[in-house]
Amino acid sequence: MKKRKILIPMPRSRFYKVVCKNCGAENVIFSHATYPARCKVCGTQVVEPTGGRSKVINAEVVSELG
């Protein structure tokens, strides 16, 4: 009998600091956001949730946190 090795996915989530392309405000977003995060200043959607890693839209990642 073969023993199947189960690979446990390690959490590779982190926080990103992004700059909104619309107003230039800094926002801290979660890299695996499951919700469409919006800019805290102008309300532009900056993160698009996908199956895994979220996609940064309308914003630029300036640094990674933690």
**Is residue 59 involved in binding Zn ion (CB under 5 A)?**
no
Please pick, from the candidates 42, 57, 62, 65, the single residue that binds Zn ion as defined by CB under 5 A. 42
Please pick, from the candidates 18, 29, 39, 47, the single residue that binds Zn ion as defined by CB under 5 A. 39
Q: How far apart are CA 65 and CA 29, in angstroms?
A: 10
Kindly tell me which of 12 and 45 has the beta carbon lying closer to Zn ion. Answer: 45
In this structure, the dihedral spanned by the alpha carbons of residues 57, 63, 64 and 66, taken in order and rounded to 10 degrees, is -140
Interacting residues with Zn ion (CB under 5 A): 20, 22-23, 25, 39, 41-42, 44
